Structure 1
Amino acid sequence: MRLQRQLALVGAPVLALCLAAPAAAGSISISIAPLVELREGALSAQVKVSNVGDESAQSVAAVLVFGEHRVRGDLRPSLAPGTSMDAALTLPVGGLGTGRWPYQIAVDYTDANQYPFQAVHLGLVTVGSPPPAKVAVSELKADPLSSSGTLSIRVKNLAGVARQASVSVVAPEGIEVTAPTQEVRLAAWEERTVTAPIVNRTALVGSRYPLFAQVQYDEDGVHQTVAGQGMVEIEAAQSFLEKWRLWFEIVAGVLVAAWLGVLLWRAITSQSRRAETGR
């Protein structure tokens, strides 16, 4: 039997955390701890979903995603703070070749007002005994998001050969990645930044969401996947004046200083002229 086991993301714990916007009396924080196994052409996940916030989550359900396929678990009406639920999910995936393959686990839930949220975990399942991947995601950076923004993904080729790779972004519902997958050509030892535009569709101000970037490529019959994680914070939209307020203040300060300089120069010049006239 082939060896299958779940891998944690490099630099990230197996625990995935989503901090939802504050509810009336607190906040909802959902953590996802999965145990995933590939057996006889099916991907099976035992998922522990915990509410580590201080407000109850409503209509909670776990979803297992592999490629374009997904399966949804049973619905739990409510998940109180400090409690957990278990979900068993199985998804047929067919025969996978040697390598590291990405999967996602999402948890859908709502707050007390029935506003929808989603927490997402990205993991890797290993088939066979593949060699270490020769590509790394060193950084996934996102500035605070109000309406639209840009993700920056730092990717490095760790080998002296060029390779073709696919760079994709996984985000929770409510945040849309308008170019979710991009094909890139990495030269030998090249490090580059790949950007992806994102749009806030339904995420509420004050929420914090994990985002994932994954790089996939094939080499010598082995499928490789590496991943990185970042966080985006949802902030209130600012007006034009609020956005550029600091620059306006700086320009105003410079203009005031220049005007005072002109007044001082005029005063000194006028005094000098009077002194010359009095001689």
Structure 2
Amino acid sequence: MNLIAHEVNENQRSIEEICICCGSFQIHTQHPLFHGGICTPCTENFLETFFLYDEDGFPAFCTICCSGKTLLMCDDPTCNRCYCLECLDVLVSPGTAEKIKAMNTWLCFMCVPLSSNGLLKRKKRWRAKLKCFYDQESNHLEIYQPLSPWERKPINVLSLFDNITTEMKNLGFLGSSLGDGRLIYLDDVTNVLRTDVKGWGPFDFIFGSTPPVGNSYEHPPAWYFYQYHRILQYGIPLESSQRPFFWMFVDNLVLEKEDRETASRFFKTEAVTIHREHAETVQNAVILWSNIPSVKR
């Protein structure tokens, strides 16, 4: 990334030909907020992290690269966007981060009238470009408005074939100071009707999975996928609903290739393979389908 300024100023390379997040020349598209390119890995990272907020309700990553370990925050209470030290020193000018640290009040590059700061040039109509960026790149997954900590509530979960109560509690989705969420676990859904699901709901998250490798199961592996998809249709909110809703189906490597391709068609999204870095069992990966934008992470 340190070579970006050299490539633009010395080699006369257009900044649209360089990923302003990492310095790569393998450009996938253009950055939605600032003039400059963005490569495929950084595009995926941007999609997954730009709207992530920390426990205090502030953006968790750099506005430019959506990464960064040490961040400086805009002092405008209506903004609070963050910028990492490397992006500031590379794209604006060396020493910019230290200058900002010394300021009592700092308004960021999205707030000040000046649109150009070194190599960092804010785009006009960036809000429309940001929406277009997500519409084109996020596989049409719904992006919901992030909630501040005091607006968050525990969620209602429907878990099929695998009781994930412990996992959901550990992640803080069921038990919290705001009250207890609710999880309904169903192992046999053969006789479950639409009226049953409607009566138990509404649900915020519907989860399902095939049995783990090595476990005995009563039905063929594909049965779990078809039954999950059937129940999912019962629990999905109407298109006119503004209530956030998420789903996930996990295959523990028991579905055949043809069944996985069928699942992708039914779910209208491609499967993602998640590797477990410290798996203690032979099975060190799972395949999943979900509408959660950051699922690849």
Please indicate, yes or no, whether the TM-score normalized by the shorter chain is above 0.5: no
Largest Rg, 1 or 2:
1
Relative contact order: is structure 1 or structure 2 higher (C-alpha 8 Å, sep ≥ 6)? 1
The structure with more helix, counted as a fraction of residues: 2
User: TM-score under structure 1 normalisation?
Assistant: 0.22
TM-score, scaled to structure 2: 0.21
Greater strand proportion: 1
